[in-house]
Amino acid sequence: MPIISVELFEGRSRQQREEFAKAVTQAAVAILKAPVDHTWVIFKEHPKSYWALGGKLCDGGGAG
């Protein structure tokens, strides 16, 4: 039973998440020989202000 956790910035459409989940599930079935009905894909969406890269918040904002 694979559980595939995907963390990303918020704002993807339902269709994008659905297409991604389908593609990842198909890969798990093909490569891991996992049953399709036992393959979980969990999306964890976060605001850009909750992430930092290179010491800078990803939302582009700043105190001024």
Residue 60's pLDDT is 87
Q: Could you report the per-residue pLDDT of 4-59, keeping only the tens digit for each?
A: 999 999 999 999 999 999 999 999 999 999 999 999 999 999 999 999 999 999 99
The CATH architecture assigned to 3-57 reads 2-Layer Sandwich (3.30)
Residue 31's pLDDT is 97
Residue 52's DSSP bridge partners are 57
Residue 61's pLDDT is 77
User: Which helix (DSSP H) or strand (DSSP E) does residue 39 occupy?
Assistant: none
Domain ranges for the chain, please list them: 3-57
Nearest one of 43, 40, 41 to 10, comparing CA atoms: 43
